[in-house]
Chain A
Amino acid sequence: MNVRKLMLLALAVTVVGSLGLGAQAIKAGFIYVGPIGDYGWTHAHDVARRIVDEKYDWLSTVYVESVPEGEVETYIDQLVRQGCNVIFTTSFGFIDGTYAAAQRYPNVIFAHASGFKRAPNMATYMADFYQVYYLNGLMAGALTKTGKIGYVAAFPIPELKRHISAFTIGVREVNPTAEVHVRWIYEWYNPAAAKEATEALIAEGCDVFAFTEDSPTVIQVAAERGFTSFAHYSPMYVFAPDYVVSGQLVHWEVIYDDFLVKVHNGTYTTKNLAHVDYWWLMAQNAASMGAEMGMPVNPKYVAPLKAFTVNHPQFGRISVYDLVFLRYNQFADPGITFDPFEGPIYDRKGNLVVPKGMWMSYDHLITMEWAARGVVGPWPGEP
Chain B
Amino acid sequence: MKRLGPFVLERRLAPPRHVVFGVSLLAVVVALLLAALVFWAYGVSPVRAYSEIGRGTLGTVGGLSDIVRRAIPLILCGVGLTLSFRAQFWNIGAEGQLLAGAVAATGVALFVRVPDGFRLPLMFLAGFSAGAVWALIPALLRVKLRVNEVISTLMMNYIMAYIVEWLVHGPWKGPTMRGFAYTDMFPVAARLPYLTGTRIHWPTLVVGVAAAILVALLLARTRLGYEIRVVGQSPDAARYAGINFTTVLALALVVSGGLAALAGVGEVAGVHWRLRSPGHVSMGYGYTAIIVAWLARGSPLAAIFTALLFGLIFAAGDLMKTTLGLPFQITGVFNGLILFSLISSDLLMYWRVRLASKEKAWTGQAGS
Q: Which of B9-17, B54-62, B144-152 contacts A (4 or more CB under 8 A)?
A: B54-62
Residues of B293-351 contacting chain A, CB below 8 A: 318-319, 321-323, 325, 327-329
From the candidates B66, B165, B319, name the one contacting A186 in the complex (CB within 8 A): B165
| Chain B residues within an 8 Å CB radius of A156 | 169, 179
Chain A residue at minimal CB-CB distance from B327: A65
Check A82 against B323 for contact (C-beta < 8 Å): yes
Question: Which stretch (A12-20, A69-77, A195-203, A329-337) binds chain B?
Answer: A69-77
What 1/0 mask marks residues of chain B from 64 to 89 whose CB sits below 8 Å from any chain A CB? 00100100000000000000000000
A-chain residues with CB within 8 Å of residue B185 when the two chains form the complex: 96
Task: Give chain A interface residues in 151-201, CB to chain B under 8 Å.
Answer: 155-158, 161, 186
User: Is A62 positioned at the interface, with any CB of B under 8 Å from its CB?
Assistant: yes
- Give bound CA distance, A200 to B318, whole Å: 40
**Interface contact B271-A366, CB-CB below 8 Å:** no
Segment of B132-140, B196-204, B248-256 engaged in the interface with chain A: B196-204
Which residue of B has the minimal Cβ distance to A74? Answer: B66
In the complex, A92 has a CB within 8 A of chain B: yes
B197 contacts A4, CB within 8 Å? yes
| 0 or 1 for each of B271-283: is its CB under 8 Å from A? (1 = yes) | 1110011011101
Cα of A156 to Cα of B170 in the assembled complex, Å: 10
Least CB separation from B61: chain A residue:
A3
**Distance in Å from the Cβ of A119 to the closest Cβ of chain B?**
17
Bound together, the chains give a CA A369 to CA B283 distance in angstroms of: 31
Complex interface: chain A residues within 8 A of B178 (CB): 116, 157-158, 366-367
The reply to whether B280 and A155 contact each other, CB–CB distance below 8 Å, is no
5 further A-B contacts with Cβ under 8 Å, apart from A6-B197, A65-B327, A69-B272, are: A6-B61, A74-B199, A74-B318, A82-B323, A157-B181
B281 — nearest CB in chain A belongs to which residue? A70
Give the 3 A-B CB pairs with smallest separation, nearest first: A3-B197, A4-B197, A158-B179
Over the window 172-183 of chain B, the binary record of Cβ atoms lying under 8 Å from chain A Cβ atoms (1 yes, 0 no) is: 010000111110
Docked complex Cα distance between A62 and B267 (Å):
28
User: Which residues of chain A have C-beta atoms less than 8 A from B197's C-beta?
Assistant: 2-4, 6-7
Contact B169 A380 (CB under 8 A): yes
A223 at the A/B interface (Cβ < 8 Å)? Answer: no
- Closest residue of A by beta carbon distance from B185: A96
Q: Is A222 an interface residue (CB 8 A)?
A: no
Q: Is A81 among interface residues, defined by CB-CB distance under 8 A? A: yes
A69 touching B276, Cβ below 8 Å: yes
Closest residue of chain A to B323 (Cβ to Cβ) is A82
One digit per residue, 1 when the CB lies within 8 angstroms of any chain B CB and 0 when it does not, for chain A 197-226 equals: 000000000000000000000000000000
Q: Which of A68, A70, A81, A380 has the most CB of B within 10 A?
A: A70
A140 CB within 8 Å of chain B: no
Question: Are B276 and A381 in contact (CB-based, < 8 A)?
Answer: no
Provide the A225-239 mask, 1 if CB < 8 A to any CB of B, else 0. 000000000000000
Whether B328 pairs with A66 at a CB distance below 8 angstroms is yes
Q: Is the CB of B276 within 8 A of A78?
A: no
> How many residues does chain B have at the interface if contact means C-beta atoms less than 8 Å apart?
39
Judge whether A68 and B283 touch: CB under 8 Å: yes
In the complex, chain A residues whose CB is within 8 Å of the CB of B181 = 155, 157
Tell me the total A-B contact number using a CB cutoff of 8 A: 94
What 1/0 flags go to B181-223 for Cβ under 8 Å of A?
Answer: 1100100000000001111000000000000000000000000
B322 touches A70 (CB 8 A): no
Contact A75 B318 (CB under 8 A): yes
* Bound CA–CA A93/B280 (angstroms): 10
Q: Counting CB contacts under 8 A, is A106 at the interface?
A: no
Interface pair B180/A157, CB less than 8 Å apart: yes
Per the CB 8 Å criterion, the residue count for chain A at the interface is: 38
A36–B244 alpha-carbon span in the complex (Å): 55
A68 touches B180 (CB 8 A): no
Chain B residues in 8 Å Cβ range of A75: 318, 321-322
B283 touching A93 by the CB < 8 A rule?
no
In whole angstroms, how far apart are the Cα atoms of A300 and B173 in the complex?
44
- The reply to whether A78 and B169 contact each other, CB–CB distance below 8 Å, is no
Minimum CB–CB distance for A381 against chain B, Å: 6
**Which residues does chain B contribute within 8 Å of A93, judged by CB atoms?**
180, 182, 276, 280
Contact B280 A69, beta carbon cutoff 8 Å? yes
Query: How far is the CB of A375 from the nearest CB of chain B, in Å?
Result: 16
Q: Which residues of A contact B66 (CB under 8 A)?
A: 74, 77
Kindly provide the distance from the CB of A87 to the nearest chain B CB, expressed in whole angstroms.
11
Q: Which residues of B contact A380 (CB under 8 A)?
A: 169-170
> In the complex, which residue of chain A has the Cβ closest to the Cβ of B319?
A78
Contacts of A116 in B (CB 8 A): 178
Residue with the highest number of chain A CB atoms closer than 10 Å, among B178, B279, B323, B325: B178
B-chain residues with CB within 8 Å of residue A71 when the two chains form the complex: 283, 318
Q: When A7-B62, A70-B271, A75-B318 are in contact, do A369 and B179 touch as well, CB less than 8 Å? A: yes
- With A4-B197, A73-B199, A380-B169 already in contact, the answer to whether A81 and B62 are too (CB < 8 A) is yes
CA of A92 to CA of B280, assembled, Å: 13
Please give me the residue from chain A that is nearest to B62 by CB atom.
A77
Which of B249-267 touch A at CB < 8 Å? 267
Verify A381–B321 contact, CB threshold 8 A: no
The answer to whether B328 and A78 have CB atoms under 8 Å apart is no
A44 adjacent to chain B (CB < 8 Å): no
List the A side residues contacting B169 at CB < 8 Å.
155-156, 186, 380
Contact, CB under 8 Å: B280 / A7: no
Query: What is the chain A residue whose CB lies nearest that of B268?
Result: A70
- A155 neighbours in B (Cβ, 8 Å): 169, 180-181
Q: Which residues of A contact B323 (CB under 8 A)?
A: 78, 82
Which of B66, B179, B181, B267 has the most chain A CB within a 10 Å cutoff? B179
Indicate whether A79 reaches chain B with its CB closer than 8 angstroms: yes
Q: How far is the CA of A74 from the CA of B66 in the complex (A)?
A: 7
The reply to whether the CB of A35 lies closer than 8 angstroms to some CB of chain B is yes
Q: Across the interface, do B182 and A4 meet the contact criterion of CB distance under 8 Å?
A: no
Residues of chain B within 8 A of A367, CB atoms compared: 178-179
Q: Is A64 an interface residue (CB 8 A)?
A: yes
CA distance A70 to B66 in the complex (A): 13
Please, what's the 1-or-0 string for A113-130, where 1 marks a CB less than 8 Å from any CB in chain B? 000100000000000000
Cα-based distance from A70 to B69 in the complex (angstroms): 12
* Residues of chain B with a CB closer than 8 A to A78's CB: 56, 62, 318-319, 322-323
The minimal Cβ–Cβ distance linking A292 to chain B, given in whole angstroms, is 27
Say yes or no: B180 contacts A92, CB within 8 Å: yes
A65 touches B328 (CB 8 A): yes
**Assembly CA distance A66 to B66 (angstroms):** 18
10 A-B pairs (CB sep. < 8 Å): A62-B325, A64-B321, A70-B267, A70-B276, A70-B283, A78-B318, A78-B323, A81-B56, A93-B276, A380-B169
Residue-by-residue, is A46-74 near B (CB-CB < 8 Å gives 1, otherwise 0)?
00000000000000001111101111011
Interface contact A4-B318, CB-CB below 8 Å: no
